[in-house]
Amino acid sequence: MSRRTLLALAILVAWAGGLGALARRELFKGSGQRLAELALRISPETFYYIVEQNGVQVGFASSAIDTTGKGFVLKDAFAADLPIAGTLHRATATSEVRLSRGMALTGFGVQFSADSSPIEVQGVTEGDSAIRYVLTSGASKPDTQRIAVKGPVLLPTLVPLAVMLGEKPKVGRTFTVPMFDPTTMGTRDVRVSIQAESLFVVPDSAAIDNTTGRWKIVHSDTVRAWKVGGEDARYVAGWLDERGRMVESRQAGGLTLRRTAFEVAFENWRDKQLAAAANGSAPERDVLETTAIAARLPLGGDLDKLKVRLRGTSLDGFDLDGGRQLLAGNLLEVRREDPAELASSLKALPTGAILTNRFAKELAPGPLLQVGDPRLVALVQRLSSNARDQREVAERLVAWVHDSLKKEVTVSVPDALRILDQKKGDCNEHTQLLVALARTARIPARMASGLAYVRGRFYFHAWPELFLGQWVAVDPTFGQFPADAAHLRFVTGGLEKQAALLRLLGTLQIDVLDPAPRARAGAHE
């Protein structure tokens, strides 16, 4: 149920703390000249990183800058075996960013693979005005999009370089950077700052230990580094040296990247993999349990009402208030939609052009959300046959997705048509397919993400919301229509919104104040 978090960990860590940016004029005043000056200070080099999860090595990463006849190339790579729900899931990611001699972006490529579900994004710039990209997922038809931008474009690890090389690093200095994120195909302003300064001992060479057969450090250097971070941990986050290269980065879910010698990072990890395969070792500490949040009070099942106190972190920017949820300070009340009220509100559901104009976004297709595909149309027509109204159609869709998909934790990016073929996945696959089906049925639908209560703890979870005269939370993973009150919505929207949940990890505390369980007939277990 924390696949969204895991995806962020796998892809974002691979890019050493930065997923791409657009340079704001305040960061590059007189941008052409400043970019040219920055280019003169960059030299070819490659660094290697050990990837640890709760102190245990789970992977390997690298980051390289090289020069070409036309400019610069930045290449980042990441591979890790993530223990999820008792099984190791291999996640790999690579990125290549191509820059001109004047540090202007000319193109980029991103590849991500987990659970044999490859995703590839190839992009090129059209001057300083637009980015054109092609997203490919497995055998799905490539999706081509054009996104308008303003000003020179920097991707992906150029933000740390720009922050550290643009001016002499100083604790307290802040930058506002409009970000372009290739995984979400969206832009947003992110504020980053230099928060601290320290010295690190960094290994730079290794030799074989004849006793253990593993590589050990034989020489290290002392490196001065500055901690750079912001309100969104997906982007610039970690300790950077004066050249803008990452020294250490602590990520959500217990993942850490530490610069080290190549042999220690890669050879030791490869040897560990071979040994584990030979003796069938069990996975290390599970990421799902690492990211769970204790409820501090046992709850019954199938709640109609829930009142909690949210502590330990700022709630600013989250979509906690509205619809079934009422937020007062840090007190959150959730009320499950009443069937009688729902029947009444359904009468106000608009149709025709009014529906299309009002809910254009919530009815539209998107990357890997193939609304209106003939296969989805045929399925919707079959499931909605002889239905009395849109509520009954929606309930049938929820039941079909719940009954048809095998419940299996994945680390892949959800693709509606691939999910329809494979018929398996976690909450994100269930949500993606249900949203695609609902929109195909002309029912406005959106994705919601937050926390759901399961066996004593709150886990990161995703579910759809459907507009049936009012927004109604449903859960095809649990087979609930409507979803019970133990669903705490923090954000609505896709990946570009859901990654905000990362800042809850390790900080949010939940006190249950008022559970009100009641058995409901006909609900799926």
Domain boundaries, the chain: 3-287, 292-517
pLDDT value for 243: 83
Q: Quickly state the pLDDT bin for 18 (edges 50, 70, 90).
A: very low
In tens, the pLDDT along 347-389 reads 777 788 888 899 999 999 987 889 999 999 999 999 999 988 8
Calpha distance 151→138 (Å, rounded) = 33
pLDDT value for 479: 92
Residue of higher predicted confidence among 304 and 140? 304
Question: 265 by DSSP, 3-state: which?
Answer: helix
Residue labelled with tokens 């505390």: 509
The runs of H, that is alpha helices, within 103-213 are: 158-166
Among 131-135, 183-187, 257-261, which stretch is predicted with the lowest mean pLDDT?
183-187
31-40 and 158-166 helices, crossing angle to 10°: 90
Calpha distance 390→384 (Å, rounded) = 9
Calpha distance 185→75 (Å, rounded) = 20
**Over residues 184-197, mean pLDDT:** 73
Max mean pLDDT range (30-44, 183-197, 453-467): 453-467
Six token digits for residue 323: 């619809």
Which residues lie across from 74 on neighbouring strands?
Answer: 65, 97
pLDDT value for 2: 39
Count of H-run helices and E-run strands, the chain: 14, 27
In tens, the pLDDT along 50-82 reads 988 778 888 888 888 888 888 888 888 888 877
E strands in 400-497 = 406-407, 424-425, 445-454, 457-467, 471-473, 487-492
**Over residues 433-451, mean pLDDT:** 94
Question: 173 by DSSP, 3-state: which?
Answer: coil
Calpha distance 227→248 (Å, rounded) = 9
Max mean pLDDT range (238-247, 439-448, 508-517): 439-448
- Amino acid of residue 162: A
pLDDT of 11 strictly over 50 = no
Q: Closest Cα to residue 301, out of 62, 43, 480, 468?
A: 480
**b or e along 184-197 (b: 16 or more beta carbons within 10 Å of the residue's beta carbon)?**
bbebeebebbbeee
pLDDT of 499 strictly over 50 = yes
Among 159-168, 308-317, 418-427, which stretch is predicted with the lowest mean pLDDT?
159-168
Mention the CATH class of domain 292-517: alpha beta
The model carries a pTM of 0.66
For the chain, report the end-to-end CA distance as a whole number of angstroms: 16
pLDDT of 279 strictly over 60 = no
Six token digits for residue 185: 């195909």
Question: 467 by DSSP, 3-state: which?
Answer: strand
**Over residues 251-255, mean pLDDT:** 66
Residue of higher predicted confidence among 190 and 257? 257
Calpha distance 49→5 (Å, rounded) = 21
pLDDT of 170 strictly over 60 = yes
Average pLDDT, the chain: 78
**Over residues 298-306, mean pLDDT:** 75
- Going 24 to 29 to 30 to 34, the CA torsion angle's sign is negative
**In degrees rounded to 5, what are phi and psi of residue 414?**
-70, 130
Residue of higher predicted confidence among 473 and 181? 473
Q: Closest Cα to residue 406, out of 430, 383, 385?
A: 430
Mapping DSSP onto H, E and C, the string for 68-122 reads CCCEEEEEEEEEEEEEECCEEEEEEEEEEEEEECCCCEEEEEEEEEECCCCEEEE
The length of the chain in residues reads 525
**Over residues 309-318, mean pLDDT:** 89
In tens, the pLDDT along 107-157 reads 888 887 766 567 788 888 887 677 788 877 766 677 787 877 666 555 545
**Over residues 340-351, mean pLDDT:** 77
Contact 27, 175 (CB under 8 A): yes
Question: 286 by DSSP, 3-state: which?
Answer: coil
